[in-house]
């Protein structure tokens, strides 16, 4: 039904086939200070990607590591469909050669194109599948997926296969107990990926447009009272609430006050009784399927489980594509800010 944002390989004998045109990777070491990581969450500063001496040479920072490439990657693998949103917006979606089935549903307009790509597994990519498609770059939303634990490949293992790894901003936390950066990381990612992929002008335009969209929402709700809200998700009968990180930033930018923001980390398991006790005035439910069936199931769950909660009694709930609230490296959370703002403050909608 619903899932929390949990974001919440041994190579074949001969390795990948020789790929003369693959960018050469040079791992330059952990050159990024801890204070830097605290500000950006992961991927780097706005000047984090830079051209070095030599034709096309590039370096970028990711989770405290500086990686060098001798030219822009042309074959990209991704660990969640939502990352494709940004790559297509940058005009490089045709460079995606494979993807894992991650936690987020693909954007409707990209669903067929992404479904046709080779699969790398569920959630964590396998080394064998990666070696078969020979990407130059793997973009992941969570460092755990390239940690070498629980069947995932390690960054060092991928480097030996000639695959560079980029972890999008906010994805460097090892588990949900650590808070992460919010939407500011997307601006950094877009500009840095633009430099890595050789589309700086497109990246600047996209980042500026998204920043303008956020500024527009902020201006429209500036005089509105903040609304108490809980954001929930469910997996295997267990409830989770948003407590911090990207999803909480989306709520706050939309004019909400998260009634569970006092709990640590990004998400926390809770009982139905805890939600009843806090009695939120509005509820947002993350739907990872992003389908009509998923929406109907979510509404039925709310009415069955929380009939006395103010938000349910007054039908102030919103079932939303989960990628719009918590998909790191995707442009959809900016759309989510606008959608949630319209829900919490309907009188401020541009159509009013």
Cα–Cα nearest to 260, from 273, 249, 246, 274: 274
Q: For position 38, what pLDDT does the model report? A: 31
The answer to whether 322 and 286 have CB atoms below 8 angstroms apart is yes
Q: CA–CA distance from 46 to each of 74, 126, 194 (Å)?
A: 22, 31, 11
| pLDDT class of 17 with cuts at 50, 70, 90 | very low
Q: For position 105, what pLDDT does the model report? A: 85
Q: For position 152, what pLDDT does the model report? A: 85
Cα–Cα nearest to 123, from 148, 151, 154: 151
The answer to whether 344 and 25 have CB atoms below 8 angstroms apart is no
Give CA–CA dist 182/118, Å, rounded: 31
pTM: 0.84
Q: How would you list the strands of the sheet with 25-27, edge to edge?
A: 25-27, 65-69, 58-62, 50-51
The answer to whether 84 and 116 have CB atoms below 8 angstroms apart is no
Other CB atoms closer than 10 Å to residue 309's CB: what's the count?
Answer: 22
Q: Which two tokens stand for residue 103?
A: 């936690």
> pLDDT tens, 57-97?
899 888 888 999 989 999 999 999 999 999 999 999 999 99
Q: Give the CB-side neighbour count of residue 295, counting CA atoms within 13 A.
A: 8
Q: Decide if pLDDT at 275 tops 80.
A: yes
> pLDDT tens, 182-241?
999 999 999 999 999 999 999 999 999 999 999 999 999 999 999 999 999 987 778 999
Mean pLDDT is highest, among 133-147, 172-186, 206-220, for 206-220
Q: Decide if pLDDT at 308 tops 90.
A: yes
Q: How would you list the strands of the sheet with 76-78, edge to edge?
A: 119-122, 96-101, 76-78, 137-140, 164-167
């Amino acid at each position: 039904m619903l899932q929390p944002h949990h974001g919440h390989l041994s190579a074949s004998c001969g390795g990948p086939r020789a790929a003369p045109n693959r960018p050469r990777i040079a791992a330059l070491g952990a050159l990024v200070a801890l204070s830097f990581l605290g500000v950006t969450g992961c991927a780097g500063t706005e000047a984090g990607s830079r051209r070095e001496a030599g034709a096309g040479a590039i370096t970028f920072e990711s989770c405290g590591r500086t990686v060098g490439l001798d030219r822009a990657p042309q074959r990209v693998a991704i660990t969640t469909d939502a990352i494709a949103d940004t790559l297509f917006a940058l005009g490089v979606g045709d460079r995606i050669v494979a993807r894992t089935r991650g936690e987020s549903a693909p954007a409707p307009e990209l669903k067929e194109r992404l479904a046709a790509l080779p699969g790398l597994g569920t959630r964590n990519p396998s080394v064998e599948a990666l070696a078969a498609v020979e990407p130059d770059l793997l973009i992941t939303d969570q460092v755990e997926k390239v940690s070498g634990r629980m069947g995932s490949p390690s960054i060092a293992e991928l480097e030996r296969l000639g695959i560079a790894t980029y972890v999008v901003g906010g994805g460097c936390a090892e588990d949900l107990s650590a808070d992460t950066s919010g939407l500011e990381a997307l601006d950094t990612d877009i500009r840095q990926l633009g430099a890595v992929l050789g589309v700086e002008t497109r990246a600047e335009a996209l980042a500026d447009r998204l920043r303008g969209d956020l500024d527009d929402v902020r201006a429209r709700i500036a005089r509105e009272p903040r609304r108490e809200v809980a954001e929930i998700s469910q997996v295997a009968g267990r409830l989770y609430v948003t407590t911090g990180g990207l999803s909480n930033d989306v709520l706050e930018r939309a004019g909400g006050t998260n009634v569970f923001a006092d709990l640590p980390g990004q998400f926390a398991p809770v009982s139905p009784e805890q939600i009843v006790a806090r009695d939120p005035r509005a509820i947002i439910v993350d739907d990872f399927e992003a389908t009509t069936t998923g929406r109907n199931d979510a509404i039925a769950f709310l009415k069955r489980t929380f009939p006395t909660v103010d938000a349910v009694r007054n039908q102030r709930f919103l079932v939303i594509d989960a990628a719009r609230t918590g998909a790191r490296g995707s442009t959809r959370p900016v759309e989510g800010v606008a959608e949630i703002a319209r829900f919490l403050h309907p009188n401020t909608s541009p159509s009013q």
